[in-house]
Amino acid sequence: MALSDLRKNAMMSHLLDALDRGEDIGHYGRLTFAMIARHFLPEEELCAWLQKNPGFSESDARVLCKQVEGRDYNPPRRERILEWQQEQAFPICPDPNGCNVYRDLEFPEHVYAHIREFYENA
């Protein structure tokens, strides 16, 4: 899995392009990006992408990566992304129809198993 896989989703492509231009994608944009990209990129590469966000240091990137990994966050649902988007200026997902990462990206099986377990126990 790699960067080309992430670009299969319009929102992730949007976030990658914004980071590449040196834009601030906001707290929730970085969190969303990390929660999804960690399944496709090695930690070093994920941290390098996060550091393209102005004012987000290597230390900040490593802390976010460790937090997301340590808590084993699943990629957020479309509804959660749209909620988070309301909390910041940067549009995480400009097209609400392109926010469903589960439709466009293939995650490791343990992600789907964790989601199934969550709903079975809810």
CB 16 within 8 Å of CB 47: no
> Residue 57 sits in which domain range?
3-121
Tokens of 93: 């997902």
pLDDT tens digit string along 24-56? 999 999 999 999 999 999 999 999 999 999 999
Residue type, 40: F
- The pTM of the full predicted model, rounded to 2 decimals, is 0.90
Q: What pLDDT sits at residue 64?
A: 98
Q: At what angle do helices 58-70 and 43-50 cross, to 10 degrees?
A: 130
Please tell me the total count of domains within the chain: 1
